Amino acid sequence: MGHSIIYKKEVTSTQEVAHELARNGAEEGTVVVAETQQKGKGRLNREWHSPSGTGLWFSLILRPDVIPQKAPQLTLLTAVAVTEGIMEATGIQAQIKWPNDILIDDKKTAGILTEMQSEPDRVQAVIIGIGLNINQQAEHFPAELLTKATSLALENDGTTFQRADVISAILKRIEQWYFHFLQYGFKEIRKRWESLAVTIGKEITAVTMTKTVSGLAEGITEDGVLLLKKQDGTTEYIYSADID
Ligand code: BTN
């Protein structure tokens, strides 16, 4: 991955640039990195704050020969790879919060946004966007975010990291797991995801677009759907939600 890295000083969103490149035939493994994004996109149409020079904001183009229903598995694969890459490059313990937030000490340090270009029965391209807070100090975060968000440097007594080391560790892990996925499927990745996840085995509350459900997070399905066992013994399938 990343044999072709396109570096931009400023973009609206690396997702948009990667979508355009993919539509024009860019090859699998192409990565778009930006120093800053004017309109970084988060999950659920939220804005992703992408200040210059402090974090890693990048999008990766994959072209797996799979049906569109399998694409969410790539998000979970990426969450595993980002978590492992952070731990390898920094020695800091990181964990995954369903669906795809990377936490350190219970605060979010990275997020993943997966988008797809597809035909009804075939994926043409999956665009995986990764935003990772690396060298921000406390004053870089809006006050209301400080209890919920962190950076690698903040979790390392303020000492900063080389962003190149972190991105190369992450891309290496994505490549390893992606080739594993193409050859052997999702089984091992799901196990690894569950072992790195803070969410599993805990009593949680999921706030979906339509309702709020509490219960025991039992695990995930093959497609990354969260299984929530409610007090009445039934299991709720959570497709998209914020977790408390
Ligand atoms: C989330 O909501 O947690 C996902 C955040 C994803 C942000 C990254 S930054 C690089 C890429 N470009 C974007 O506009 N978004 C993703």
Ligand 1 midpoint to CA 74 (Å): 15
Residue range(s) defining the domain that contains residue 220:
203-243
Give the pTM: 0.94
Are residues 149 and 229 located together in one domain of the fold? Answer: no
pLDDT at 191 over 90: yes
SS3 state at 239: coil
pLDDT at 3 over 80: no
Q: What is the pLDDT of residue 130?
A: 98
Q: What is the pLDDT of residue 58?
A: 98
Question: How far is 14 from 115, CA to CA, in rounded Å?
Answer: 12
Q: What is the pLDDT of residue 2?
A: 66
Q: What is the pLDDT of residue 99?
A: 87
Ligand 1 midpoint to CA 113 (Å): 5
With 0-12 / 13-18 / 19 or more C-beta atoms within 10 angstroms meaning exposed / middle / buried, residue 73 is buried
Percent of the chain with pLDDT over 70: 100
Average pLDDT for the chain: 94
Are residues 100 and 188 located together in one domain of the fold? Answer: yes
Are residues 177 and 93 located together in one domain of the fold? Answer: yes
Question: How far is 141 from 66, CA to CA, in rounded Å?
Answer: 39
Which residue CA neighbors atom 3 of ligand 1 most closely?
111
Are residues 231 and 126 located together in one domain of the fold? Answer: no
113 lines ligand 1 (CB under 6 A): yes
Question: How far is 206 from 218, CA to CA, in rounded Å?
Answer: 13
The count of structural domains within the chain is 2
Domain containing 237 — which CATH number?
Answer: 2.30.30.100
57 lines ligand 1 (CB under 6 A): yes
**Domain end call among 196, 214, 232:** 196
Q: Residue 213: name the closest of 241, 190, 233 by CA.
A: 241
HSE-CB of 234 using CA atoms within 13 angstroms: 5
Residue 105 identity (one-letter amino acid): D
ipTM of the prediction greater than 0.90, yes or no: yes
Are residues 105 and 191 located together in one domain of the fold? Answer: yes
Are residues 107 and 43 located together in one domain of the fold? Answer: yes
Are residues 131 and 68 located together in one domain of the fold? Answer: yes
Are residues 120 and 211 located together in one domain of the fold? Answer: no
| DSSP designation for 180 | H
Domain containing 38 — which CATH number?
Answer: 3.30.930.10
Are residues 190 and 217 located together in one domain of the fold? Answer: no
39 lines ligand 1 (CB under 6 A): no
SS3 state at 126: strand
Are residues 17 and 120 located together in one domain of the fold? Answer: yes
Query: Could you read off the pLDDT of 54-107 as tens digits, one per residue?
Result: 999 999 999 999 999 888 899 999 999 999 999 999 999 999 999 889 999 999
Question: How far is 22 from 57, CA to CA, in rounded Å?
Answer: 18
186 lines ligand 1 (CB under 6 A): no
